[in-house]
Chain A
Amino acid sequence: MRPPAVTQQVLAWLDERLDLSGLRAFIAEKSVPRHRHSVWYYMGGITLFLVGVQVATGILLLLYYRPSAAEAYESVQFIVSQVEFGWLIRNLHSWSANLLILMAFVHLFSTFFLRAYRKPRELTWVTGVLLLFIMMGFGFSGYLLPWNELAFFATKVGTGIAGAVPVAGDFMVRFLRGGDEVTGATLTRFYGIHVAILPAITTVLLGVHLLLIQRQGMSVPPSIEKRAKAGEKIREEPFFPNYVLHDVMWWYVALAVLAALALFLPWELGKKADAFAPVPAGIRPEWYFLAMFQTLKLIPSHVFGLEGEMLGVMGFNIAAVLLLLVPFIDRRPADSGQSRVLTAAGILAVTYLVVFTIYGYYAA
């Protein structure tokens, strides 16, 4: 099917000036592997789509949101009650943020278990893990912005945990809070981090991540890589339109889920934060920090003469570094079999995260 005449004229106009023949050839030639594990490769696409939703809804929220302790809560209240479709935008932003982190975790673990991090894709893995940490930073900073009671006290607890880091702990707490306590200064600081600093870092990391994927092509699982090396042909499909249409289909599914969540489970605003109010019951962080939160609660106050909380925080830092270094720990070639130790560690990590998140949810 040929494009309409107007489109052809526009493309011809652009081609005359920009020489799009290279791009056309790239689109026509680019193909991606197709196999029984292909479904996992769409998880990254869904995550990317949700990032787009976050950017779009975040920009719309910025038009009305006011980042001060005196006005933040009221401005969010205004958005959800007075602004046309403000309720939908705020609900989409909140739900999309949570789905985004969920999909980022699914993408991370699918990449891990399919060994897609192996040479030459080490840097793609590192940028991906860094992006996951950045997304969690988005979640942590964004949670406080409505300036409601639960977020206020959860942020107080969350930033307080940074104090357990040896040597730099006190500095980190003051740096995060913009003072000794969670105040309007913390809100302004979190706002700046949420809408300027983290988006800037994300743009760079995401750009490198996508560029590397494009440059190195899509990986295939070791079993298929092995068969390819043995001379067996790998099934492929054109990137355009086949893979793109698949991606778009999944994006639509994500959009349907988001819309249903936004309507049937609207994100509560709660009460306005009051530093002098008693700490309300049920203070807990967002679900993606629950496993860590619950672990810290369970660690005794002192272990072998050291502070339990400090040990826990250091443990999480070590785990984060190990996660970043996975491609440098498992240095086998892409077509070699599973590393049993790493597979066991991955299963253990997923089990720990799921069990402790559920435990933390009900314990809180």
Chain B
Amino acid sequence: MATTQLSRRLAGIVLAVTVCAAAAPAAAQTAAVTQCETCHRGQADARLSTPARDFALTDVHRERGFSCVNCHGGNASEPDQIKAKAPSTGFKGKPAGQAVIAVCAQCHSDATLMRKFAPKQRIDQAAEYATSVHGQQLAKGDTRVATCASCHGAHGVRLVGDAQSPVYVRNVATTCSRCHSDPARMSGYTLPDGSPLPTDQHAKYTRSVHHAAMVKGNDLSAPTCNDCHGNHGAAPPGVGAIANVCGTCHTVFATKFALSAHSQIFDRSCVECHSNHEIAKPSDEMLGTDKAAVCVTCHGDGDNGFKAAAAMRGQIEQLKAAISHSESVVAEAENAGMAMGSQSIALREASNRLTLARTELHAFDPKPVEAVLQEGLAITAKIDAEGAAALAEMSYRRTGLAVSLAAILLVVVALRLKIRSLPYPPDR
């Protein structure tokens, strides 16, 4: 009996040493094929064989020396299925719900361990997750919500920077939409105001300027879902925080907006005019008192906001027309052969003033907008004057040349007449 107990204790110690050694591979070396994989790959049931194959093919953990037992427990060297999954081996089976978070966190929240593999990577994903809507719902016992594996995958996990990873920057929106665009899965969830959680965010996002920048412009810095909602701590930005969220990229606009009267009034700040998921490319038509302008949603004929909107739009249109006119003057002079390099640079400067005015107007104060636009108009006036001078110079050159040509041709005719009048000696 004592011998049996001693044998079991010894076996337990050996197993513990084996699991610990496997839990923290010393070097980033691909793990050897385990008994778990050998057995699972041969299973007829795809639910059992696919994880083993995916893990062997692409998984970043396997590439760094981790194996099945690091997440599932069990004895990886035991060929007997029953013995390999015996309770004494610490076998956990397929983790679900909070267990997924715990399994991932055992390494990803361990600063000492993570330093060996990805020293710059954060280790607070699990803590962040707990603050997310997903995490809070899970804590309430809702197992339909996303956990780590929902976004990163369970077997065949790739690095975030891998273009085939579901959380690669260009794939994030599609990954989120797998659940958030599914009305059946989203049924029962509501917004803070009690209305049903919409499922059209992805469709709207694909029509937005941000999506166009990322997909058509190949700008990987363009925002996707997690840039505004957070990733592990995903939640809608709260009322009052939207300007801060947009301001992480649109810094100057956010600064100007913070100075405006609107910042105190707009509950959804930027979203009030620009919407959220379906953010269209901004245009000057959004400003003013026309039907297409967003200002008239709140402002009526005669109020100060209405007047300010009309004034700012009018001045912007004035500078646009002035730039357009200056462009045609410069083009005409260039076509006539005049060097207009400095005027072309000045034209860009005038366009910069227009851009600056469009930024300034987010403070919704006509005075600074007008000041910037006046600078632009002064530049275009100078370009026009220089363009007119260039065209006058060209006219002067043409007149001068016409006179010179006439003089040259006169000399040619005179020479011809002189040559004809010259006496020729008799033939020799």
Contacts and interface: CB of A to CB of B under 8 A. Distances in A.
Contacts of B398: 263
Interface string B328-364: 0000000001110110000000000000000000000
A256 B424 contact: no
Given A236-B427, A242-B424, A249-B412, A259 B401 contact: yes
A256 B405 contact: yes
B397 interface: yes
A256 B427 contact: no
Contacts, number: 64
A266 B428 contact: no
Contacts of A266: 337
A53 to B, nearest CB: 14
Given A87-B339, A263-B398, A252 B424 contact: no
B187 interface: no
A77 B408 contact: no
Chain B: number of interface residues, binned into ranges: 20 to 34
User: Helix, strand, loop or mixed for chain A's interface?
Assistant: helix
Contacts of A241: 422
A245 B425 CA distance: 16
A199 interface: no
Interface in A252-266: 252-253, 255-256, 259-260, 263-266
Nearest to B406: A256
Interface string A1-27: 000000000000000000000000000
A110 interface: no
B6 interface: no
Interface string A218-249: 00000000000000011111100110011011
B418 interface: yes
Given A80-B339, A242-B419, A242-B422, A263 B412 contact: no
B269 to A, nearest CB: 41
Given A77-B339, A255-B408, A263-B397, A236 B428 contact: yes
B363 to A, nearest CB: 38
Considering the complex of A and B, which 6 residue pairs feature the smallest CB-CB distances, nearest first? Answer: A266-B337, A81-B339, A233-B427, A249-B415, A256-B408, A80-B339
Given A80-B339, A81-B342, 12 more contacts: A87-B397, A234-B427, A234-B428, A237-B424, A242-B422, A245-B422, A252-B412, A255-B408, A259-B401, A260-B405, A263-B337, A265-B337
Interface of B: 337-339, 341-342, 397-398, 401, 404-405, 408-409, 411-412, 415-416, 418-419, 422, 424-425, 427-428
